[in-house]
Amino acid sequence: MEYVRLGSSGLSVSRICLGMMSYGDMPARKWQLDEDAAEPIVRRAVEAGVTFFDTADAYAQGTSEELSGRLLGRLFPRREDYILATKVYYPTGPGPNGQGLSRKHLMAAIDASLTRLGTDYIDLYQIHRFDPATPVEETMAALHDIVRAGKVRHVGASSMYAWQFAKAQYTAQAAGWTTFITMQSHYNLIYREEEREMIPQCLDQGVGVIPYSPLARGHLAGNRNRTGEQHTLRAASDALADSRFRAYADADFDVIDTLGAISREHGRPPAQIALAWLLTRPAVSAPIIGATKPRHIDDAIAALEVTLSEQDLHQLYAPYRSHPVLGHS
């Protein structure tokens, strides 16, 4: 395992982050694993040296946080041995104050997350989306107060326009408040729109990028083909993947076909090559992988050993076609 610092902060994390959205109690998501099924997969990641774990209060109606807290508490001897990240924004209760980034919701949400996670503090507390209904000054002041209270060590953000991220950072800097050290972006071989503005901004400001959906919800691992056949339970029940990528399927599969050719040349699965590509990208600290099988962990770890040539990179870039902005809502 390799370890890097998150952006220009002093926080060190494993180069691979395990996303915990795949674990929880939500029957509607048939691909989600319960605690007993998740434990050997998370254990495998821990044994491989993964120390960075990401969840959210809205995942599986809070049960992802509960499960994450119990598993990590069993698998690590000390709380200081792992980096725990969670997120806030989406509804976690009824009524207009049960969501968003208002001071009221943030103050309630952090305490609820700490309780579910069974910990005294969170290493990285991220706003899951930008909240246009709340003044950015209110959000950044509340996050600063949460850090000052010792409940959170660092703050981060996820999926928004670069101007929104810049506005939040400037507001915090001007007031002397805590600023974001990370951006959790939707970024992979078939969705590269973050390269236009967000990633250059993060590079300029020393913000670490921790991409989610690095395999495009399984597209880059071969969970479906150009004719629409679905090869996994996740592919057959993932409406979000269909809505995000269906309109650009032909262009996306041109990239996927090239990925397949390069993976055959290297003698490795496409998932390893796709992750290896992401690990070469400027500003990327640690891709957030989802794993429902032990081999998903193995592929992620093996990707650290892959070296892509300039020719490989050029071939992977060539078929990409622009997409509309996705994932900011």
> How many residues are present in the chain?
329
Residue 170: partners with Cβ closer than 8 Å, 6 or more residues away: none
Q: Is 207 exposed, middle or buried (0-12, 13-18, 19+ CB in 10 A)?
A: buried
Q: What angle do CA 47, 50, 56 make, to 5 degrees?
A: 125
Annotated catalytic residue, options 59, 89, 125, 191:
59
Residue 3 is a catalytic residue = no
3-state helix, strand, coil in the chain (%, to 5): 45, 15, 40
Closest CA to 248 of 180, 188, 307, 198: 188
3-state secondary structure 71-90: HHHHHCCCHHHCEEEEEECC
- Is the CB of residue 274 less than 8 Å from the CB of residue 252? no
β pairing state of 12-14 and 3-5: antiparallel
Half-sphere exposure in the Cβ direction for 249 (13 Å, CA) = 11
> What count of other Cβ atoms lies within 10 Å of the Cβ of residue 94?
8
Using CA atoms of 67, 71, 76, 78 in order, give the dihedral in degrees to the nearest 10.
Answer: 40
Query: H-helix or E-strand containing 175?
Result: helix 162-175
In 3-state terms, what secondary structure has residue 54? strand
Task: Indicate the pairing of strand 122-127 with strand 152-158.
Answer: parallel
What positions carry a catalytic annotation?
Answer: 59
